[in-house]
Structure 1
């Protein structure tokens, strides 16, 4: 869809919803699969690739479409690192 490859139908559907919200002016600056570098004390630990980022009501949102199968131990560690290193809380959207 729009040249992007999505990991699931739920993620593709969410992209469609966010595009509609962007066109309606409810969100802005929609990005697909942005990467975040997670470094601790000058050491690169890992990268985190979100599903989407956007601005809503002046607030930066990092969003990940999840299912019970995709909430892995690695994801939970990266989620904690995003908060600890960058001060960003990932908003999880559970797909169908």
Structure 2
């Protein structure tokens, strides 16, 4: 039995190229954490610097906010609508800021953002 080269294996479909992200984002790993994009990873590094400097007292990744509670209709359960931000930072002055890094704003994101702003008016929201 003869061996097959990588090019031959790719040609036969045994090896496939990694899928590219729909919007061109490149997964990036920082501090052992996988981020969906370079932009998100860079924002994380910026926030970590602010945390080390003492400006940020608490930093949370991927905080979740319930936009609409789950319910049952016609005996069918309907799942809750949840918004997952990229970061939540609590600053030393007491401010809580929710941050989302976006390269492209989808219709779903814009709708969830509106629901978030309506449901959590006291939380500062920033798009990075």
Question: Fold match, TM over 0.5?
Answer: yes
User: Bigger radius of gyration, 1 or 2?
Assistant: 2
Residue segments in structure 1 that go unaligned for 5+ positions in a row: none
Among residues 48, 66, 70, which one is paired with 1:37 in the alignment? Answer: 66
- RMSD of Structure 2 on Structure 1 (CA): 1.7
Among residues 36, 40, 63, which one is paired with 2:99 in the alignment? Answer: 63
Residue segments in structure 2 that go unaligned for 5+ positions in a row: 1-29, 72-78
More helix as a share of residues: 1
Displacement of 1:47 in angstroms is: 0.6
1:18-44, Cα deviation, whole Å (9 max, x unpaired): 00100100112100111111126x756
The TM-score with structure 1 as length reference comes to 0.83
Displacement of 1:3 in angstroms is: 3.2
Alignment partner of 1:91 is 2:126: yes
When the two structures are aligned, how many residues end up with a matched partner?
Answer: 90
Cα distance in 1 between the residues matched to 2:32 and 2:55:
23
The TM-score with structure 2 as length reference comes to 0.64
Cα distance in 2 between the residues matched to 1:89 and 1:26:
16
Map residues 8-23 of structure 1 onto 2, 5 A cutoff: 8-23=37-52
C-alpha contact (below 8 Å) 1:34/1:52 kept by paired residues? yes
Cα distance in 2 between the residues matched to 1:15 and 1:27:
12
Alignment partner of 1:6 is 2:39: no
C-alpha contact (below 8 Å) 1:79/1:89 kept by paired residues? no
Displacement of 1:84 in angstroms is: 1.1
